Amino acid sequence: MTTGIAVTAQPDLFDRSFFRTCRLRALMAAKPGADFLLKAVSEDLQDRLLLVNRRFPIAVDLGGHCAHVSEAIRQSGKADLVLRADLFAADPSLAAPDLVFDDALIPFGDQSVDLIVSALNLQFVNDLPGTLVQLRRALKPDGLFLATLPGAGTLSELRDSLTRAELEVKGGAAARVLPFADTRDLGSLLQRAGFALPVTDLDSLTVRYDTMFALLADLRAMGATSVLKDRSRKPLSRQVLLRAAELYAQNHADADGRIRATFSLVTLSGWAPHESQQKPLRPGSAKTRLADALGVQERKIGD
């Protein structure tokens, strides 16, 4: 497959097998309310779809456990057929999905779907440039890709507290929080993957908890614990965790004593190339939709 992207051998950053285990464990536990972040992102994606001046015959919810994204697409009224594609395994709390597959290996044929929407999944893919190429190829001409990923700055308070505590107690620190790409890098990847009219924008969501341990419990319930391939296999000691909780409360708490957890959310949109995108603006054209309908700041590469 010719992609137009130079491929270089790189070691995997994420342990996809362990990620699968974490996802399955989270689905089986089904902690009430643990889907709050996915729900908020899905609602935002629905708002964005409502502003798109066209319908899509076939839409795909990519990796959509909890079915929030599928429901958001349906509620937008922009798709005739919505396919829910669960990641790794079916969500036992829902009706059977249309598809189950690893989102690192897109099974759709070239130019076979019109809309692909993904929420909080693609940050765990080892070869994100390659996956974006697969997604662009799966879209019909003038099809839309819309996704939200955590961006740089996500869980910065937790990263800071764990690192400082481990340095104090053990004299060294291992990576405990995933690295996240910034908005400019993600926009560049869209462009390199061949998407037309790529747009990225950044939102920030701050969640407050009574303690760091409540935050860690939520992350585990989301299936969002560290899946770094080079992560330390030794769990943090009680001493380190207690010190981290102290540092978190000292440095990242509000006046009422509750701690802050920041989620930086980068939303990407890009269109499969089509000849109409090079013509003067017409109602409902891709260029009109991005500039006027989405109403977000366009970040051009090199700005």
Which of 7-11, 211-215, 278-282 has maximum average pLDDT? 211-215
Residue 261's pLDDT is what? Answer: 96
Residue 155's pLDDT is what? Answer: 94
Residue 128 dihedral angles phi and psi, to the nearest 5°: -65, -40
Residues 6+ apart with CB under 8 A from 233: none
CA–CA–CA angle 48, 155, 173 (5° rounding) = 150
Mean pLDDT of 264-284: 77
Residue 9's pLDDT is what? Answer: 53
Q: Which of 118, 131, 46 is nearest to 86 (CA)?
A: 118
Residue 174's pLDDT is what? Answer: 76
Q: What is the pLDDT of residues 39-87, one digit of tens each?
A: 999 999 999 999 999 999 999 999 877 899 999 999 999 999 999 999 8
* Rounded CA separation 121/106 (Å): 13
Tokens encoding 183:
């908005």
Q: What is the pLDDT of residues 5-23, one digit of tens each?
A: 444 456 788 788 888 888 8
* Rounded CA separation 299/296 (Å): 9
122 vs 9 pLDDT, higher one: 122
